[in-house]
């Protein structure tokens, strides 16, 4: 009888000590191998995983990307189902970049995360983690979404770039305006800020200048769009005012 009571007492203590599970991650570790044409300078590889709120409450999450290992020329970026962040952004809550955009999940709600790998023409293997925390407990990790990405070069006889592949914006960084090195196949362009919000839209034509003088300094994304085919390409643009 005493042993039974002792076991029951220890069981009750364990129930109080062990925290309830808040999230699940599927898969917890994603392994993906790509064999692809690394001569494409704008190659963007995508790997997916899903996070789910298994608690009874609505939760607000902070995530943090950790690049544990990767070739030096690689860049990675995270899309959290609402916003696709630039490679230099490693978390959705960062006072340095005035970011405060928690991932909100209702009970049983799921969200797909996308890890973008930009290999920059270099084969190799990357180990990248995304850690999750409650915004009101930013030091207590709830779980980790791990990615193991291997990129190998596809041997091809030749690579002829398309017109869209070689289009650039100039000047970059830009102060007052920018232009395109070519406009063929592009009907319009949309400029997005770092949060993925459109801030400007222009029709595209030969020799045209696209004004950004009244936009705040910072990093922007210029999406080149064909009316029939949709988005063709996205180019990073730095807006930087002239300094005295």
pLDDT at residue 157 in the model = 52
Q: Which phi and psi angles does 165 have, rounded to 5°?
A: -65, -30
Whether the Cβ atoms of residue 89 and residue 96 lie closer than 8 Å to each other: no
Whether the Cβ atoms of residue 217 and residue 241 lie closer than 8 Å to each other: yes
pTM for the whole structure: 0.60
Tell me if the bond preceding 133 is cis, omega within 30° of 0.
no
CA distance 16 to 54: 19
CA distance 181 to 60: 43
Domains identified in the chain and CATH numbers: 22-153 (2.60.40.10), 164-239 (2.60.40)
pLDDT at residue 134 in the model = 96
Q: Which phi and psi angles does 73 have, rounded to 5°?
A: -85, -10
Segment-wise mean pLDDT, segments of 10 residues, the chain, 244 residues: 54 53 94 88 88 96 95 91 86 88 95 92 94 94 96 70 78 90 90 89 91 90 89 86 50
pLDDT at residue 160 in the model = 55
pLDDT at residue 18 in the model = 47
Q: Mind spelling out the 3-state secondary structure of 196-235?
A: CCEEEEEECCCCCCEECCCCCCEEEEEEEEECCCEEEEEE
pLDDT at residue 145 in the model = 96
Q: Which phi and psi angles does 65 have, rounded to 5°?
A: -90, 135
């Amino acid at each position: 009888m005493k042993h039974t009571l002792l076991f029951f007492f220890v069981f009750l203590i364990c129930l109080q000590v062990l925290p309830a599970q808040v999230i699940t991650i599927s898969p917890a570790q994603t392994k993906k191998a790509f064999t692809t044409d690394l001569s494409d300078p704008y190659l963007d590889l995508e790997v997916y995983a899903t996070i789910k709120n298994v608690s009874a409450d609505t939760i607000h999450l902070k995530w943090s990307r950790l690049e544990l290992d990767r070739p030096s020329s690689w860049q990675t970026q995270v899309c959290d189902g609402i916003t696709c962040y630039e490679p230099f952004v490693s978390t959705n809550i960062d006072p340095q970049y005035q970011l405060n955009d928690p991932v909100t999940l209702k009970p049983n709600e799921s969200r797909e995360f996308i890890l973008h790998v930009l290999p920059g023409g270099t084969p190799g293997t990357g180990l990248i983690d995304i850690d999750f925390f409650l915004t009101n407990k930013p030091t207590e990790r709830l779980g980790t979404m791990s990615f193991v990405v291997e990129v190998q070069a596809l041997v091809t006889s030749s690579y002829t770039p398309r017109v869209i592949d070689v289009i650039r914006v100039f000047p970059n960084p830009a102060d007052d305006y920018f232009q395109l090195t070519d406009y063929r196949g592009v009907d319009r362009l949309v400029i997005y800020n770092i949060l993925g919000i459109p801030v400007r839209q222009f029709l595209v034509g030969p020799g045209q200048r696209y004004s950004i003088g009244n936009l705040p300094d910072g990093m922007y994304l210029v999406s080149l769009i064909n009316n029939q085919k949709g988005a063709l390409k996205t180019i990073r643009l730095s807006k930087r005012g002239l300094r005295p």
